Structure 1
C-alpha cells in the first residue's frame, strides 16, 4: 500500500540517518578531545574511578614538590655538616700536634684552632635553605611522604621522621678548647679528647643527615614512578584510541552519505503515485 500522507520508507531512512549523525558527532567529539570518556554519561564507573585516581595523582605531585624543598634543605644541612667534619678533623689534628709542645707551639696552634672554630661558625650559619635550619637545634622533623586510601575511601597521609643536628653545640665545644692555658699533660689530653669527641659527633650528624636525604630522594623516585602509573592507568580507561576513531569516522561518513541518498530515494517514492493518474 502506498500513501502520500505517511512515507514509512522515509521515516526509516530518517531514523537511520539520525542514528548515524549521532554516532558521527560522538566520534568527532572523541577525536577532538582525545577522550573516550569525557563525562559520567559515557561510562559512570570509569569516570568516577578516573577522577578519583586523577585526584590522587595531583596530591602525589603536590607532595613531591614539598619533598623537593625538604630534600634541598636536608642536602644543604648535610653539606654544612660534612664541611664541619673536615674542619673538625683538622682541628683534632692540630690539637694532637700540640701535645707536649712548648708554650710558643701551643700559642701558635691555638691561633689556628681559633680560625678553624670561626670557619665552623660561618659554615653552620650558611647551611640553611630558604630559612630552613636543620643544623642549630635538636628535635624530630616529620615530613609527609604520600597518601593512603582505604577500601572504604578513608584517606590518610604517610610520613617519615628524621632528627635535626645541633652543629652549633659542636662548634661551641671546640671553640672552648684553649691550648694556651693547657699547661699540663692532663689538660692537653683533655683538649685532645674534647676535639676527638666533637669530631665523632660531627661525623654522626653528617651521617644522619645523609641518611635522611637518601630516604627523601628514594621516596621522591617512588612518587615519580607512582604518579606515572596512575596517569597511565587513567589514560587506559578514558583516552580514545585514535586509530580506531579515525577508522570509525571514515566508515560513518560513508554511512552518512548512503543514508542521505536512501532518504532522498524514499522521499521521491510518492512521486511514482502520479503515474497512476495519467
Structure 2
C-alpha cells in the first residue's frame, strides 16, 4: 500500500544512511588520530587500563632519570676510591722502602708520604657529584628503584640500599704516620701494618661502590625494557589498525553512496502516486 503520509522505504533508507554516516565518522576519527580508543566513551575498560599503564610508564621513566643522577654520584665516588687505592699503594711502597733505612732516608720518604697524603685529601674532596658526597661517611643510602602496583590498585615503591664510604678516615690514618719518629724496627713495622690496613679499607670501599653502581645500572636496564613493554601494551590496546580502518573506510564510502541513492529513490515514490490521478 502506498501512502503520502508515511514513506516506509525512505525511513528505512534514512536509518541505514544515518548508521553508515556514524560508522564513517568513527572510522575517519580513528584514521586521523591513529587511536581506536581515544576517550572513555570509545571503550571504558580499555581506556581505564591504558591510562593506568601510561601512568606507570611515566613514573618508571621519572625514576629512571633519577637513578641516572644517583649512578653518576656513585660512579664519581667509585673513581675517587679507586684513585685513593692507587695512591695508598704508592704510599705502602714508600713505607716499605723506608724499613730499616737511616734517619735521612726516613726523612726523605716522609716528605713523599706527606705529598701523597695531600693528594689523597684532594682526591677525596673532589669526589663529589652535584653536591652529593658519598666518600666521607658510613651512613646507609636508600634509593627508590621503581614502583609496584597491587591487584587492588595501591602503589608502593621498591628500593635498594648501599653504604657510603669514609675515605676521609683512611686519609687521616695515613697522614698521622711520621717515619721521622719511628726510630725502631717495631715502629716502622707498625707503620707498614697501618698502611696495609688502610689499603684494605680503600679497596673494600672501591669494591662496595662498584657493586652499588652495577646494581643501579642493572635496574636502569630493567626499567628501560619494562617501560618499552608497557608502552607496547598500551599501543596494542588503544592504537587503531590503520590497514583495517583504511579498508573499512573504502567500504563505508561505497555504502554511503548506495544508501544515498536508495534514499533518493524512496523519496520519489510519493511522486508516482500523482500518476494515478491523471
TM-score range, shorter chain: over 0.9
Equivalent position of 1:4 in the other structure: 4
1:26-175 matches, cutoff 5 A: 26-175=26-175
Where does structure 1 differ by over 4 angstroms across 4 or more consecutive aligned residues? none
Task: Say which is worse superposed, 13-22 or 47-56, in terms of deviation.
Answer: 47-56
1:193-272 matches, cutoff 5 A: 193-272=193-272
Q: In the TM superposition, what is the alpha-carbon distance from 1:76 to its structure 2 partner?
A: 0.5
- For the residue of structure 2 that corresponds to 1:2, the secondary structure is coil
Q: In the TM superposition, what is the alpha-carbon distance from 1:133 to its structure 2 partner?
A: 0.5
Q: In the TM superposition, what is the alpha-carbon distance from 1:57 to its structure 2 partner?
A: 1.0
Q: In the TM superposition, what is the alpha-carbon distance from 1:273 to its structure 2 partner?
A: 1.6
Q: Which runs of 5+ in 1 are unaligned?
A: none
**Count of residue correspondences:** 278
Equivalent position of 2:189 in the other structure: 189
Work out the CA distance in 2 between the residues paired with 1:56 and 1:42: 22
Work out the CA distance in 1 between the residues paired with 2:108 and 2:258: 103
Q: In the TM superposition, what is the alpha-carbon distance from 1:103 to its structure 2 partner?
A: 1.2
Work out the CA distance in 2 between the residues paired with 1:97 and 1:77: 30
Q: In the TM superposition, what is the alpha-carbon distance from 1:180 to its structure 2 partner?
A: 1.5
Q: Residues 169-221 of structure 1: CA distance to partner in whole angstroms, max 9, x if unpaired?
A: 10111111111111111111111111111011000000000000000000011
Work out the CA distance in 1 between the residues paired with 2:257 and 2:106: 103
Taking structure 2 as the reference length, the TM-score comes to: 0.98
Q: Residues 55-95 of structure 1: CA distance to partner in whole angstroms, max 9, x if unpaired?
A: 11111111111111100000000000000000011100110
Q: In the TM superposition, what is the alpha-carbon distance from 1:135 to its structure 2 partner?
A: 0.3
Work out the CA distance in 2 between the residues paired with 1:211 and 1:153: 33
Q: In the TM superposition, what is the alpha-carbon distance from 1:28 to its structure 2 partner?
A: 0.8
- For the residue of structure 2 that corresponds to 1:151, the secondary structure is coil
Taking structure 1 as the reference length, the TM-score comes to: 0.98
Work out the CA distance in 1 between the residues paired with 2:120 and 2:31: 63
Q: Residues 144-190 of structure 1: CA distance to partner in whole angstroms, max 9, x if unpaired?
A: 01111112222111100000000011011111111111111111111
Work out the CA distance in 2 between the residues paired with 1:123 and 1:245: 64
Work out the CA distance in 2 between the residues paired with 1:31 and 1:88: 67
